């Protein structure tokens, strides 16, 4: 996150002074390859984060207004609303928590904001089944001009480990000009990666260098996720000169005030560089912050899940509306995010047809193959009016690698049942009932026997993978039709909405005939 103009200017000078980012061609040529792992042998460098991290981060809603009670009350609400048991288990404290370093060089937490210190918070969170995320910058200051960790990496990592911290978000402000090529950025971020490793404490390492120097090409060897664009803002598609790039690759000036559609479309060229253990981070969610309509938030949440972006709730959970709880707690969408395929979606087509505030008004088809052979399609209407949208079997299943091949993909000969992933969204009254139910724990009474109101799914008792094996309707959504071999899926999608469908192949008749022979 970028908190001050001053830090931006410093970063700009650093960028202009450095060489233009040397983008690695090897990776772009086969960028629409999904099944082939582009970076061969890649997997989580530290064994953590095989599926994207989920949780909450205070920045989007509270910026520097952080405190012990904010973190603990939010965690408690997340337990009570069933969000923890849907998978949102990291409470990530962002900038502005420290006041400086003590005589021995250790960071000092702000005693007014955190009167009991950080270990106390970690202990409380752990007793609730949650985990604790910490923030710093790979610079001499954080973006909010608090002390950064550049040059203090091991000392800071040791301190966090002594507090039982589980996660580090590591920003890019005041980096002393140590950027401009992938190698320079790699070296700077690698120091902290090694420092964390040396502590011996497993911690998720979340790079936040805004996509500078193309982290999706190198950060998988040292980190668990990496931001791929400038900072998000709570707008669906409004262009902003402070977020000038429309492509992630080689973007010299990532900036901030990037809209949902701006960030989403930057994923198209880098989707192949999302993998188990390293996720392209599209930035924290804005759902609930008031700048978008309900259907726009549905698009935002759906597409972040579809791309295996980390899902960090970025709003005030204590004042969450029923509608926003219903969006954030749709297990059929979260199951896409937590799918073991750990991949991002491919944009099969994009047309600009019906001008809206961007002057373009696009519609697009995104698809993704899931680990169990299901296929998910997103028919996205970011145009200004309702559209009848089509996805043909060829569009869904042909990819550039197989298009010219002699054998057509067998998927084209199958019948696919179509499940609408938003059909079972919690109603307003169901979501209100969850929000208004009796609180379960109470920070002061951990022994209460009350249980939280169940949402539709409890991933603590049944993993998403097991739920899918059991054909749990909470994860499948509702069957709304099927696509015959070589058929087309047609749906009417309102303005600024998305149709999210999980496709499941029916067993082929060919198989059945062969069975009969034996
Ligand atoms: C792209 O993929 C094709 C087919 O798998 C392969 O022959 C080619 O070498 C790849 N190109 C690069 C630059 O890796
Ligand atoms: C800071 O956050 C608290 C809630 O944690 C809120 O009550 C207070 O009004 C906020 N202060 C400012 C200045 O925004
Ligand atoms: C500095 O902070 C560290 C970590 O909290 C602590 O162990 C140490 O005693 C402090 N040193 C001084 C001189 O205050
Ligand atoms: C440190 O790195 C080694 C080698 O990559 C790895 O096996 C180990 O799990 C890491 N430890 C931690 C705490 O991340
Ligand atoms: C978008 O549609 C609304 C009506 O729904 C209209 O008022 C507005 O002018 C349209 N915007 C553009 C850029 O055409
Ligand atoms: C969908 O298909 C119909 C019939 O083929 C066509 O008229 C319509 O333009 C298509 N819609 C889009 C958005 O391509
Ligand atoms: C919770 O129960 C345990 C064991 O029954 C007891 O030792 C502890 O004091 C209780 N804690 C609270 C906060 O009541
Ligand atoms: C989910 O299941 C766990 C373990 O069975 C239970 O402790 C928890 O209360 C359940 N959560 C909800 C929201 O029902
Ligand atoms: C789930 O549904 C598929 C058909 O879509 C079926 O083959 C499978 O047996 C079902 N699994 C269970 C556990 O019911």
Distance CA 402, CA 408 (A): 7
The residue ranges of DSSP E strands in 331-441, in sequence order, are 346-352, 362-369, 375-381, 387-392, 416-420
Of 227, 222, 176, 228, give the one whose Cα is nearest residue 196: 222
- Residue 358 CB–ligand 5 contact under 6 Å: no
40-49, 168-177, 274-283: least confident range: 40-49
Taking the centre of ligand 7 as the mean of its atom positions, its distance from the CA of residue 443, in whole angstroms, is 13
85, 217, 231, 339: the catalytic one is 231
| 159 in Cβ contact with 201 (< 8 Å) | no
Alpha carbons 415 and 491: distance in angstroms, whole number: 18
User: Is residue 190 very low, low, confident or very high in pLDDT (cuts 50, 70, 90)?
Assistant: very high
Indicate whether 445 pLDDT > 70.
Answer: no
Contact 74, 319 (CB under 8 A): no
CA–CA separation, 13 and 28 (whole Å)? 28
Closest residue by CA, ligand 9 atom 12: 470
Residue 145 Cα to ligand 5 midpoint, Å, equals 42
Q: Helix H segments across 140-233?
A: 153-162, 182-199
Closest listed ligand to the CA of 453: 8
Q: How confident is the model at residue 177 (pLDDT cuts 50, 70, 90)?
A: very high
> What pLDDT is recorded for position 452?
58
Cα(388) to ligand 6 centroid in Å equals 7
The Cα-based distances of 354 to 196, 294, 493 in angstroms read: 49, 21, 14
> Does 225 score more than 80 pLDDT?
yes
Rounded-to-integer distance, Cα 95 and Cα 205, Å: 16
Mean pLDDT estimate for the chain: 88
398: helix, coil or strand? coil
Strand partners, 492: 388
Q: Which whole number is the average pLDDT over 421-432?
A: 93
CA-CA distance, 273 to 252, in Å (whole number)? 19
Residue of 390, 493, 494 to mutate, ligand 6, most atoms within 8 A of C-beta: 390
> What is residue 10's predicted lDDT score, i.e. its pLDDT?
34
Residue of minimum CA distance from atom 7 in ligand 9: 507
Using an 8 Å Cβ cutoff, are 52 and 309 in contact?
A: yes
Residue whose Cα lies nearest atom 3 of ligand 7: it is 447
Contact, 156 vs 146, CB < 8 A? Answer: no
Residue 382 contacts residue 356 (beta carbons within 8 Å): yes
- Of the candidates 426, 417, 416, which has an alpha carbon nearest to the alpha carbon of residue 474? 426
Span 428-452, average pLDDT: 66
Q: What are the Cα distances from residue 331, in Å, to 197, 326, 457?
A: 33, 10, 6
Higher pLDDT, 17 or 339: 339
pLDDT at 262 over 70: yes
User: What confidence tier does 408 reach under pLDDT thresholds 50, 70, 90?
Assistant: confident
Residues 235 and 247: beta-carbon distance below 8 Å:
no
Q: What is the pLDDT of residues 480-510, one digit of tens each?
A: 999 999 899 999 999 999 999 999 999 876 5
Quote the ligand 2 centre to 66 CA distance (angstroms): 8
- Ligand 8 within 6 A of CB of 239: no
Contact by Cβ (8 Å): 363, 380: yes
- At residue 379's C-alpha, the angle toward residues 378 and 380, to 5°, is 100
Centre of ligand 6 to C-alpha 270, Å, is 29
Distance 307 CA to ligand 9 centre (A): 26
CA distance 167 to 203: 5
Probe target for ligand 6 pocket from 365, 388, 491, 494, with the most ligand atoms within 8 Å of CB: 388
The closest of 354, 336, 353 to 345, measured between CA atoms, is 336
The verdict on whether 171 is a catalytic residue reads yes
Q: Is 105 in the pocket of ligand 4 (CB under 6 A)?
A: no
User: Among residues 92, 208, 62, 191, which one has the least CA distance to residue 143?
Assistant: 208
CA of 492 to the centre of ligand 6 (A): 11
Q: Name the DSSP letter for residue 66.
A: -
Q: In the chain, pLDDT over 90 holds for what percent of residues?
A: 79
390 lines ligand 8 (CB under 6 A): no
What distance in Å separates the CA atoms of residue 47 and residue 72, rounded to the nearest whole number?
A: 28
For ligand 1, atom 6, the nearest C-alpha belongs to 30
- Residue in 85, 94, 171, 217 annotated catalytic: 171
231 is catalytic: yes
What kind and span of H or E run contains 76? helix 68-80
Which ligand gives the minimal distance to the CA of 508? 9
Ligand closest to the CA atom of residue 101: 3
Which of 234, 256, 238 has the alpha carbon at shortest distance from 358?
238
CB of 442 within 6 A of ligand 7: the answer is: no
Quickly tell me which residue has 């288990």 as its tokens.
Answer: 89
Q: Is 454 in the pocket of ligand 8 (CB under 6 A)?
A: yes
């Amino acid at each position: 996150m970028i908190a001050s103009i001053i830090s931006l200017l410093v970063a700009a000078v650093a960028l202009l002074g450095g060489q233009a980012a040397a983008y690695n061609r090897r990776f772009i040529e086969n960028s629409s390859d999904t099944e082939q792992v582009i970076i061969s042998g890649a997997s989580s460098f530290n064994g953590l984060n095989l599926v994207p991290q989920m949780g909450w981060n205070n920045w989007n809603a509270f910026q520097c207004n952080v405190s012990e009670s904010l973190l603990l009350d939010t965690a408690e609400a997340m337990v009570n609303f069933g969000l923890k048991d849907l998978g949102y288990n990291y409470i990530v404290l962002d900038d502005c928590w420290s006041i400086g370093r003590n005589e021995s060089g250790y960071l000092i937490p702000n005693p007014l904001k955190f009167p009991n210190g950080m270990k106390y918070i970690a202990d409380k969170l752990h007793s609730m089944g949650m985990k604790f995320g910490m923030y710093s910058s790979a610079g001499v200051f954080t973006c909010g001009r608090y002390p950064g960790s550049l040059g203090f990496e091991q000392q800071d990592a040791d301190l966090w480990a002594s507090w039982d911290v589980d996660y580090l978000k590591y920003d890019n402000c005041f980096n002393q000009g140590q950027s401009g090529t992938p190698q320079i950025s790699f070296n700077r971020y690698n120091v902290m990666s090694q420092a964390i490793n040396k502590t011996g404490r497993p911690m998720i390492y979340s790079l936040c260098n805004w996509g500078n120097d193309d982290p999706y090409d190198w950060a998988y060897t040292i980190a668990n996720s990496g931001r791929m664009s400038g900072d998000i803002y709570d707008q669906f598609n409004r262009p902003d000169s402070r977020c000038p790039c429309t492509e992630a690759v080689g973007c010299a000036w990532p900036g901030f005030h990037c809209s949902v559609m701006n960030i989403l479309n930057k994923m198209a060229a880098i989707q192949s560089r999302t993998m188990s253990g390293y996720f392209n981070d599209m930035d924290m969610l804005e759902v609930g912050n008031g700048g978008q309509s309900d259907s726009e938030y549905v698009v935002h949440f759906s597409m972040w899940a579809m791309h295996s972006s980390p899902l960090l709730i970025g709003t005030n959970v204590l004042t969450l509306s029923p509608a926003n709880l219903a969006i954030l707690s749709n297990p059929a969408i979260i199951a896409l995010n937590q799918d073991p395929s750990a991949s991002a979606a491919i944009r099969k087509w994009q047309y600009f047809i019906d001008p809206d505030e961007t002057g373009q008004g696009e519609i697009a088809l995104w698809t993704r193959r899931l680990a169990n052979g299901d296929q998910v399609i997103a028919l996205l209407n970011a145009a200004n009016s309702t559209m009848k949208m089509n996805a043909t079997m060829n569009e869904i299943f042909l990819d550039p690698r197989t298009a010219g091949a002699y054998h057509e993909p067998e998927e084209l000969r199958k019948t696919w049942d179509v499940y609408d992933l938003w059909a079972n969204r919690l109603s307003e009254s169901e979501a209100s009932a969850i929000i208004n139910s009796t609180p379960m724990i109470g920070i002061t009474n951990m022994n209460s026997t009350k249980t939280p109101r169940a949402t539709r799914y409890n991933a603590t008792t049944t993993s998403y993978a097991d739920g899918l094996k059991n054909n749990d309707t909470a994860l499948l959504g509702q069957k709304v039709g099927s696509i015959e071999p070589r058929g087309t899926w047609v749906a009417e999608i309102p303005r600024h909405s998305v149709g999210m469908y999980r496709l499941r192949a029916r067993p082929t008749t060919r198989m059945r005939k062969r069975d009969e022979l034996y």
